[in-house]
Amino acid sequence: MRLLIAEDDKLHRSFLEGVARDTLPDLDDLTITSDGEDAIAAFNTSDYDSVVLDLQMPKVTGVEVAKSIWAKKPHTKILFWSNYTEEAYIRGITKIVPGAAVYGYILKSAPEEQLKLALQGVFIAEQCVIDREVRGVQQRAGDRLSGLSELEYEALIDLCLGLTDKAMAARRGVSLRGAQSRLQHLYQKLGLDKGDIPIGEWGPSFNSRTRAISLALTLGILNADALRREEENLKVWLSKAN
Amino acid sequence: MRLLIAEDDKLHRSFLEGVARDTLPDLDDLTITSDGEDAIAAFNTSDYDSVVLDLQMPKVTGVEVAKSIWAKKPHTKILFWSNYTEEAYIRGITKIVPGAAVYGYILKSAPEEQLKLALQGVFIAEQCVIDREVRGVQQRAGDRLSGLSELEYEALIDLCLGLTDKAMAARRGVSLRGAQSRLQHLYQKLGLDKGDIPIGEWGPSFNSRTRAISLALTLGILNADALRREEENLKVWLSKAN
DNA sequence: ATCGCTCTTGCGGGTTCCCGCAGTTTCTAT
DNA sequence: ATAGAAACTGCGGGAACCCGCAAGAGCGAT
């Protein structure tokens, strides 16, 4: 068994290394990298069947590393090991996981025992091991009731990037009214219906447009990190479209 | 010397404990807590002259803990130990540090050597020890040129919470035009002047109102955590004012 | 085929926002 | 004391946004 680890925090890195050595008996090779680029490079120069990825890393996210890895070898087993349950990451992962791939998702705050079980479960028993909390978010995302559809999610991103309605329409290839319609649905899902916002004597307290961003952030649908990455995508589009 | 530590992450906690024991020779008492409330409780039941605080903790931030501590004993030495250089935190700290207090600010990503130096510098030599990176942010915040004034910062918070102009005006006790004027200055500082935003064939790409939020987040002036706390303040005000 | 669901589009109007202009107050510095 | 900077205010107009209504396209299920 050949294992590749990518994790930027020094402490967590050495902790993880220790646990992995303890838990996995037949470890032929163990390579440890501290950012996404190195991880991809390492994967391309040698053969690994198992990978542990932190999600938040400088330059290249764990999600992107996974994408690159699975594009090359879809049967690679990947365990995601992260601090947060941000819906943005989970969405990213479920979008790129190949049909029959084995993967896991566990939180750093989980006790050591759970980490050990996850390592064995994913890499030895080849099961999918997904943390309870994460599982909750995952279901909401797939569920039409409390979660956002893919289109609404796109609208949310554009909104959070600060685009105008017109720009959204242009970017997504729909009419102005189309973009506004998506926003409207988004507002509804987030509970910004007319009745729901408190009204003081000075009038309605919230501006739907900005309040939507606020909610997305506090509810953990998006985070600053994901935003910075979307900003990159936007730049690409802007330069291509101008 | 009596030391109190507050840090929620298990690994960092034990790492910090180890380093502290190694580095500080005459440690009469060492208490370790894993969230802000416990830290305040511990401080109130016993006497500590030195404290190490993580900034991001559940329920009560390190900043709030420091505030409570300094309110009781302004000469307590505090070392802040954090992941990020968010301007929101730094602003919070510089606002509450008593005139002659000794304190330090160091990043978790710094090498162990620096942490040792900071511990000794703050607790033994009674110097203020502030990380280079943090110092940069601090200066920008105090500087009128690239930083935001207190008023503009307030406006930014209200904006990020999703308030309308009218609500901001009511909350801050100024006229509608006054609130809008603050926003206007904010936009200017963030580089949202008319000339600065790219214009595609479909018109201006950015909506100043939402773009300001986007910039605040990606530049690290605010984060989701700070936002959630401001949300609490807002709720208090809403119930008091309606 | 027909119903139902989602997504889209045009139109119209009411609201909010953005901001230039101009006048006033307050505070600081020389 | 006087000049200058920073903040607040009212007014007014142009732009952007929010959204109800109605009609149509596409798709899967009965």
The pLDDT score that the predictor gives to residue B144 is 44
Q: What percent of chain B has pLDDT over 70?
A: 94
Closest to B216 measured CA to CA, from B238, B183, B239: B183
Pick A162's closest partner by Cβ from B163, B202, B214.
Answer: B214
Nucleotide nearest to B179 (CA to C1'): D8
Closest to B48 measured CA to CA, from B17, B2, B80, B7: B2
Å: A178 CA to C2 C1'? 27
Contact at CB, A162 and B204, closer than 8 angstroms: no
Q: Which residues contact A36 (CB under 8 A, 6 or more apart)?
A: A6, A57, A58, A59, A60, A61, A62, A64, A65
Show which positions of strand C are touched by protein (CB under 7 A): 6-12, 16-20
Average pLDDT over residues B113-133: 93
Compute CA distances B208 → A21, A109, B108, B189, whole Å.
52, 38, 35, 12
The pLDDT score that the predictor gives to residue A145 is 41
Q: Is residue B199 helix, strand or coil?
A: strand
The pLDDT score that the predictor gives to residue A48 is 96
pLDDT, tens digit (0-9, with 9 covering 90-100), for A110-132: 999 999 999 999 999 999 999 98
pLDDT, tens digit (0-9, with 9 covering 90-100), for A61-101: 999 999 999 999 999 999 999 988 888 888 888 878 877 78
Average pLDDT over residues A197-205: 75
**Cβ proximity of B226 and B89 under 8 Å:** yes
- Tokens in use for B74? 């302004």
Q: Residue A200: enclosing H or E segment and its boundaries?
A: strand A199-200
**Comparison of pLDDT for B135 and A80, the residue scoring more:** A80
Distance separating alpha carbons of residues B53 and B81, to the nearest angstrom: 6
Pick A218's closest partner by Cβ from B200, B202, B228.
Answer: B228
Average pLDDT, chain A: 89
Å: B201 CA to C6 C1'? 30
Confidence of residue A144 (pLDDT cuts 50, 70, 90): very low
Å: A164 CA to C11 C1'? 21
CA-nearest residue to A8 within chain B is B109
Confidence of residue A16 (pLDDT cuts 50, 70, 90): very high
Q: Is the CB of B194 under 7 A from strand C?
A: yes
B214 vs A contacts (CB less than 8 Å): 160-162, 227, 231
Give, as one character, the DSSP assignment of residue B203. E
- Tokens in use for B159? 């904006």
A241 vs B contacts (CB less than 8 Å): 200
Nucleotide nearest to A175 (CA to C1'): C9
Å: A122 CA to C5 C1'? 39
Å: B144 CA to D3 C1'? 21
Q: Write the Ramachandran bin of A203: left for phi over 0, alpha for psi from -120 to 50, otherwise beta.
A: left
Show which positions of strand D are touched by protein (CB under 7 A): 6-12, 15-20
Q: How far is B168 from chain A (nearest CA, A)?
A: 9
Nucleotide nearest to B149 (CA to C1'): D6
The pLDDT score that the predictor gives to residue A70 is 93
pLDDT, tens digit (0-9, with 9 covering 90-100), for B138-180: 766 655 445 678 888 999 999 999 999 999 999 999 999 999 9
Confidence of residue B94 (pLDDT cuts 50, 70, 90): confident
Q: Is the CB of B39 under 7 A from strand C?
A: no
B170 vs A contacts (CB less than 8 Å): 200, 202
CA-nearest residue to B200 within chain A is A242
Pick B164's closest partner by Cβ from A11, A160, A207.
Answer: A207
pLDDT, tens digit (0-9, with 9 covering 90-100), for A183-195: 999 998 888 876 6
Which of the residue ranges A204-213, B88-97, B215-224 would you say has the lowest mean pLDDT? B88-97
Q: Is the CB of B162 under 7 A from strand C?
A: no
CA-nearest residue to A111 within chain B is B10
Average pLDDT, chain B: 89
The pLDDT score that the predictor gives to residue A169 is 93
Q: How far is A104 from chain B (nearest CA, A)?
A: 22
* Strand order from edge to edge, sheet including B77-82: B29-33, B2-6, B50-54, B77-82, B103-107, B129-130
